[in-house]
């Protein structure tokens, strides 16, 4: 079935990757981005397709958003302030770009009679989880970051629209995603540091923070499997691999890929920043029960990311 997808944040890492895949599958795609962090170069391929329409706009502009959504039948809402680390420097940013923007997406859908939405939430909504690996129905969490709180608010709005307005949703709680078109996060930061000075590396925290990562194409596979096979009103899935690494492991892989042997300078403490979660590891039995499994290990994801950055150093200057 050929669908007309609306992708917010279409020029971002995950958004643009999904745009390309949907176009390759023969779907029609309308993409929206305000290019605050999105990259035009990620849409070079898509823009060659007559099935793709790019709308440059901001989700906080509801009238324009409502126009942009005309004719769509499924929305993937990826646009967000993904700058998790600096939440406390600009708390309003998470409120506006994540919570209010999600509200506007839902209202634009309602105006256009669109009722299907996929949403990129985050494993951060679990706060400091009492259960690890953390299942979707873990104990009611206490938020520890403005980012997590703003995404939780988005989830809540979406679920309430499902109940109140007959929407159907697929909410994805991600670990960090890695791979081609990755433009922020620890691999990016370490790569940039090592390019500038391969002899030393400054690491926030003690390097022992355990993290779980998922490779972008495995992430897209999971989202498509979920939308195809899960038919509840509100379908919530953790997305991640069945394991984790320490930041130090990742540093080893990155250094190796770059042929660097840096001296480590740890800032100390068991977390990188206020609200950093020292251990996010999600129970993914839900999405696995639909037949999905990741095809790439964390190490493969990290190495592919370094390869992408090597071949696309322009992304370093693009921000």
Please give the Cα distance from 159 to 209 (Å, whole number): 32
Strand 4-8 with 28-33, pairing: parallel
One of 145, 209, 212, 284 touching its own copies (CB under 8 A): 145
Strand 168-174 with 234-239, pairing: parallel
Peptide bond into 133 cis (omega under 30): yes
Pick 54 or 60: Cβ nearer its own copies: 60
- Give the shortest CB-110-to-its own copies separation in angstroms: 8
- Give the shortest CB-146-to-its own copies separation in angstroms: 5
Strand 245-246 with 210-211, pairing: antiparallel
Tell whether residue 149 is a contact of its own copies (CB under 8 A). yes
Surface-to-core class of residue 232, CB atoms within 10 Å of its CB (0-12 exposed, 13-18 middle, 19+ buried): exposed
Pick 35 or 165: Cβ nearer its own copies: 165
Please give the Cα distance from 83 to 184 (Å, whole number): 8
Which range touches its own copies (CB under 8 A), out of 4-12, 41-49, 149-157, 259-267?
149-157
Active site residue 126: no
Strand 74-77 with 263-266, pairing: unpaired
Tell whether residue 194 is a contact of its own copies (CB under 8 A). no
Please give the Cα distance from 238 to 174 (Å, whole number): 6
Residues between 269 and 288 that touch its own copies (CB under 8 A): 274-275
The values of phi and psi at residue 111, to 5°, are: -60, -30
Tell whether residue 141 is a contact of its own copies (CB under 8 A). yes
Instruction: Report how far apart, in Å, the C-alpha atoms of 270 and of each of 59, 237, 263 are.
Output: 36, 28, 19
Pick 151 or 304: Cβ nearer its own copies: 151
Tell whether residue 175 is a contact of its own copies (CB under 8 A). no
- Give the shortest CB-300-to-its own copies separation in angstroms: 31
Tell whether residue 87 is a contact of its own copies (CB under 8 A). yes
Size of interface with its own copies, in residues (CB under 8 A): 42
- Torsion on CA atoms 44, 45, 50, 51, rounded to nearest 10: -110
Pick 25 or 88: Cβ nearer its own copies: 88
Please give the Cα distance from 89 to 146 (Å, whole number): 10
CA 303 to chain centre: 19
Which range touches its own copies (CB under 8 A), out of 37-45, 96-104, 184-192, 307-315?
96-104
Which range touches its own copies (CB under 8 A), out of 24-32, 52-60, 145-153, 254-262?
145-153
Tell whether residue 122 is a contact of its own copies (CB under 8 A). no
Q: Which residues contribute to the site for its own copies (CB under 8 A)?
A: 87-88, 91-92, 95, 99-100, 103, 106-107, 126-127, 130, 136-146, 148-150, 152-153, 155-157, 159-161, 163-165, 234, 236, 274-275
Tell me which residues are annotated as active site. 147
């Amino acid at each position: 079935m050929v669908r007309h997808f609306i992708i917010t944040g279409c020029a971002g890492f995950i958004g643009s990757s999904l745009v390309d895949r949907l176009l390759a599958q023969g779907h029609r795609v309308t993409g929206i981005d305000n290019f605050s962090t999105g990259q035009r170069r990620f849409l070079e391929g898509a823009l060659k397709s007559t099935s793709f329409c790019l709308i440059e706009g901001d989700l906080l502009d509801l009238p324009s958003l409502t126009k942009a959504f005309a004719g769509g039948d499924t929305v993937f809402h990826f646009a967000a302030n993904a700058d998790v680390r600096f939440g406390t420097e600009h708390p309003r940013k998470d409120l506006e770009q994540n919570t209010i923007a999600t509200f506007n997406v839902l209202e634009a859908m309602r105006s256009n009679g669109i009722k299907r939405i996929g949403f990129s939430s985050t494993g951060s909504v679990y706060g400091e989880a009492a259960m690890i690996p953390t299942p979707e129905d873990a104990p009611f969490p206490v938020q520890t970051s403005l980012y997590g709180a703003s995404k939780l608010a988005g989830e809540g709005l979406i679920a309430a629209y499902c109940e109140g307005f007959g929407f159907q949703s697929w909410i994805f709680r991600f670990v960090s995603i890695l791979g081609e078109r990755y433009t922020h996060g620890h691999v990016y930061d370490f790569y940039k540091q090592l390019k500038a000075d391969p002899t030393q590396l400054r690491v926030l925290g003690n390097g022992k923070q355990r993290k779980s990562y998922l490779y972008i194409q495995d992430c897209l596979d999971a989202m498509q499997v979920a939308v195809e096979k899960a038919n509840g009103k509100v379908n919530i899935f953790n997305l991640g691999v069945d394991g984790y690494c320490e930041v130090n492991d990742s540093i080893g892989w990155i250094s190796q890929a770059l042929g660097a042997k840096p001296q480590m300078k740890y800032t100390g403490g068991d977390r990188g920043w206020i609200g950093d979660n020292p251990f996010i590891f999600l129970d993914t039995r839900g999405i696995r029960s639909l037949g999905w499994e990741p095809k790439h290990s964390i190490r493969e994801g990290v190495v592919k990311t370094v390869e992408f950055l090597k071949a696309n150093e322009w992304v370093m200057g693009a921000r």
